[in-house]
Amino acid sequence: MAGLAASGSNPDVDLLYDINGLAKDAPEWFDRVMAYVGEYGLLIAMVLLVLWCWWSVRRRGGEDAAPSVAALVWAPLAAGLAVLVNVPIRGFVERPRPFLDHQGLDVLVSGKTDFSFVSDHATITMAMGVGLFVAHRRFGLFGIGLALLEGFCRVYMGVHYPTDVIGGFALGTAVTLLLSPVAAALLTPLTKAIERSPRAGWLIRSRKEPSYDGRDALVPGARAESADAAERDLAA
């Protein structure tokens, strides 16, 4: 399997050269920015996005706060688990980094000596993005957008093939969604117990809870409270 996409006559390598070729034409400062963004910046942005979503969920409150926070806790846990799953995959495929088999690539970061398939960065960001989507639709769409940008950056930097990134997206999505019901069953009782705690309850919901109609929540049990109230008024 070590020779996977080793020859230069295939769409994977052609797309690699097309995307990485953009780095050759870009200013040096822009390449430095892309290298930092692709290596660290988007991972930091994803963590901040999860924290922002948690702050929004706890301020929103309501009966769906605990399941939503449980889904948010699952997002980084799923990313870590997906990376662990990737360890034997990398060892089985043994695909070298693209710059080791192909000449003329503009490699923006050095020190990459491990195998290429699948991309850890793509796996982590997509797992967290999909986990965010389970908890909150709008935050999740933005998170998935960050993951797609991360994948582009990894190819732009010359450290991954496009199929490395696609494989990372698939792995992160599969781990997050397939194990999400199990994670919800385990984590939701924990977040509900924390919610009932007089000292730690603020981690789940704010003392001041604004009205919320539940339209963006995808976790089980979410519903439009304001719509239900309207129906009761009409029935009265």
Q: What is the pLDDT of residue 215?
A: 53
Evaluate if residue 1 carries a pLDDT over 90: no
pLDDT score of 73 = 94
Per-residue pLDDT, averaged over 217-231, amounts to 46
Report DSSP letters for the chain, one per residue. -TTTT-SS-SHHHHHHHHHHHHHHHS-HHHHHHHHHIIIIIHHHHHHHHHHHHHHHHHHH-STTHHHHHHHHHHHHHHHHHHHHHHHHHHHHH-PPPHHHH-TT----S----S--SSPHHHHHHHHHHHHHHHH-HHHHHHHHHHHHHHHHHHHHTTSS-HHHHHHHHHHHHHHHHHSHHHHHHHHHHHHHHHHH-TTTGGGT--SS------SS--STT---HHHHHHHHHHH-
Lowest mean pLDDT among 2-16, 99-113, 119-133: 2-16
Lowest-confidence segment of 11-20, 29-38, 105-114 by average pLDDT: 105-114
pTM: 0.81
Average pLDDT over residues 19-47: 92
Label residue 222 by pLDDT band (50, 70, 90): very low
Among all chains, which residue has been given the structure tokens 């709008």?
A: 138
Residue 51 has pLDDT above 50, yes or no: yes
> Per-residue pLDDT averaged across 71-96, rounded?
94
Lowest mean pLDDT across 24-28, 65-69, 144-148, 210-214: 210-214
pLDDT of residue 236: 44
The pLDDT value given to residue 6 = 45
Mean pLDDT calculated for residue range 63-75: 89
Average pLDDT, the chain: 84
Mean per-residue pLDDT, 162-177: 96
Of 181, 160, 151, 227, the closest CA to residue 78 belongs to 181
**In the chain, % of residues over pLDDT 70:** 83
Does position 8 have pLDDT exceeding 70, yes or no? Answer: no
